[in-house]
A and B are shown apart, each in its own frame.
Chain A
Amino acid sequence: MAVNVRIPTPLRGLTNGADVVPAPAGTIDAVLKQLCGQFVGMEKRLFKQPGELNRFVNIYVNEEDIRFLQNLDTPIKDGDDVSIVPAIAGG
């Protein structure tokens, strides 16, 4: 069992269409770093600069915003759900 990272539609162009990407448990920082290493272009979409997420993307662990937990240091364990939720503009 691992952590499931949910990839939203706007980022699936980078993950060859995958909507869920597995990652080992650890911290959010480690999970996102792995994701950025795995998929070209992901880092620019998620991070403003190293250690600082873009302010148009939120990360949730099991529906809780990591800003209310320990931000990038938030621990995650096997079975947790990590959701990347970007601002979208359609309507």
Chain B
Amino acid sequence: MTLPETAAKISADESASVAETPGVSAASLGGLDTADPSSPPGDPSLARYNRQMLFAPIGVQGQKKLRKARVLLVGCGALGTVLANTLVRAGVGHFTIIDRDFIELNNLQRQVLFDQRDITDQLPKAIAAERKLSKINSEVKIEAIVGDVNHHNILQYAREKDLLLDGTDNFETRFLLNDAAIELNIPWIYGACLSAMGLAMVIRPGLTPCLRCIFETSPPPGMNPTCDTAGVLGPTVNLVASWQALEAIKLLTGNFAALNRGLFSFDLWDNRFQQLQVARAREIADCPACKHHRLEYLSGKFGSSTTTLCGRNAIQISPPPGQQVDFEHIATALQAVGQPGYNRFMLKCVIAEGHGATQKEYELTLFRDGRAIIKGVSDAAAAKALYAKYVGS
């Protein structure tokens, strides 16, 4: 069985695809009224950004800076889809999205770029996002990468970017982003949410405290509730990501004086908004990362080859980099235990083990780079054992 092949338009290699639609001039947008009398003077190709340019601190010059900007978004789930949607519409010139996951029905409540069809088509999030975004603004060069960000590859993705954006759902990748930002001296914008509460902060290496000045470590696994146990509301996500997007616009247009200098903290349900003071954290915190330059996540000292996915009763297994797996071969082997299906991006198979009352079901999702998400398992060792058994170690 082969999954519906809807990826015909994606032309690049199997794990990454780049949509570089030629710029659409305002005049070629047939039927759309682009001759807006309130348009600022200058480049007519900027007409679509008229309402944004009329905001004085941005203006034509700010818009041109946005067009030149190169941004990396790590994670394209709840925060990530709002960030991508907002900033691609705003005209950020080069937008790279990296995400390791596929779309599930319970994502649609808050992940604004996806729809039911994407689930039927079994699209990875990065690919589905790229398709929507290129319809929204074909002037933006969007690069979509289906993959896991880890200490082996983050510098390669982050290098030569003007800004890194946090759309992740776990501490480890955030601390890795923090290390990469310090190493490359690139600003990044932290954002996180749970239930109705949110936290966000602009981090500019050398100028502001970093994430580890504020939270030096992450809580041990299982100590804190996650979005999957405590839930999360769409408006919470939208508020955090919109705050991040606005700070991104300030940064990319050179409006540094307007940047928020605190840790933005809110609880929408309790009607509580705070601007927590963090400016002095750099002097006071004995920060391993930005003060002592011990980049423990980037060096691989912290971090693991398995990741528990935000309370989903799922474990991700990341093999060493540079692998390519043969779906056809693996699907043939899996036919003994289930009904595997695959398209060019991923292979899925529900595996039943045992019989009767002791029967257990696992859902294996395997990506081209050998990375797997195994659902129905909560400990790393069991996940590794399943991987070794069905994919190979």
* Minimal beta-carbon separation of A43 from chain B (angstroms): 13
Say yes or no: is B45 at the interface (Cβ < 8 Å to chain A).
no
Residue pair B194, A88 in contact (C-beta under 8 Å):
yes
| Contact call A91/B276, Cβ cutoff below 8 A | no
B218 CB-CB contact with A under 8 Å: yes
- The residue in A10, A55, A83, A89 that gathers the most chain B C-beta atoms within 10 A of its C-beta is A89
Contact residues in B for A63 (Cβ distance below 8 Å): 274-277
- A56/B219 contact (C-beta < 8 A), A67-B281, A91-B77 known: yes
Counting CB contacts under 8 A, is B140 at the interface?
no
Q: Give the contacting residue for B230; candidates A6, A10, A68; CB below 8 A.
A: A10
Contacting pair A89 B276 (CB below 8 A): no
| Cβ of B284 under 8 Å from chain A | yes
Q: Are B274 and A87 in contact (CB under 8 A)?
A: no
What residue in chain B is nearest A9 (Cβ atoms)? B195
Provide the bound-state CA to CA distance between A60 and B281, in Å: 13
Which of under 10, 10 to 19, 20 to 34, or 35 or more describes the interface residues of B? 35 or more
Bound CA span A85–B214, Å: 10
Residues of B within 8 A of A45 (CB): 223
B218 & A89 in contact (Cβ 8 Å cutoff): yes
Question: Does A64 touch B at the CB level, under 8 Å?
Answer: yes
Nearest Cβ in chain A — how far from B219, in angstroms?
Answer: 5
How distant is A20 from chain B, measured CB to nearest CB, in Å?
Answer: 8
Most B-side CB within 10 Å, residue of A10, A65, A86, A90: A90
Chain A residues with CB under 8 A of B298: none
Please determine whether A91 and B193 come into contact, CB atoms closer than 8 angstroms: yes
B129: shortest Cβ distance to chain A, in Å?
15
- B216 on the A face (CB < 8 A): yes
Does A67 contact B79, Cβ atoms closer than 8 Å?
no
Q: Which of A35-82 contact B (CB under 8 A)?
A: 45, 54-56, 58, 60, 63-65, 67-68
Q: Is B167 an interface residue (CB 8 A)?
A: yes
Which of A64, A88, A91 is B78 in contact with, Cβ under 8 Å?
Answer: A91
Q: Which of A6, A55, A68, A89 meets B192, CB within 8 Å?
A: A89
Q: How far is the CA of A19 from the CA of B217 in the complex (A)?
A: 25
Contact at A19–B167, with CB atoms within 8 Å?
no
CB of B168 closer than 8 Å to a CB of A: yes
Please give the distance in Å from A13's CB to the nearest CB on chain B.
7
Q: Is A26 positioned at the interface, with any CB of B under 8 Å from its CB?
A: no
A9 to B167, CA, bound (A): 21
A13 x B270 contact (CB < 8 A): no
Flag if B277 contacts A55 (CB, 8 Å).
no
Chain B interface residues toward A at CB < 8 A: 75, 77-80, 166-171, 174, 191-197, 199, 214-219, 223-227, 230, 232, 237, 240, 263, 265, 267, 270, 272, 274-278, 280-281, 284-285, 310
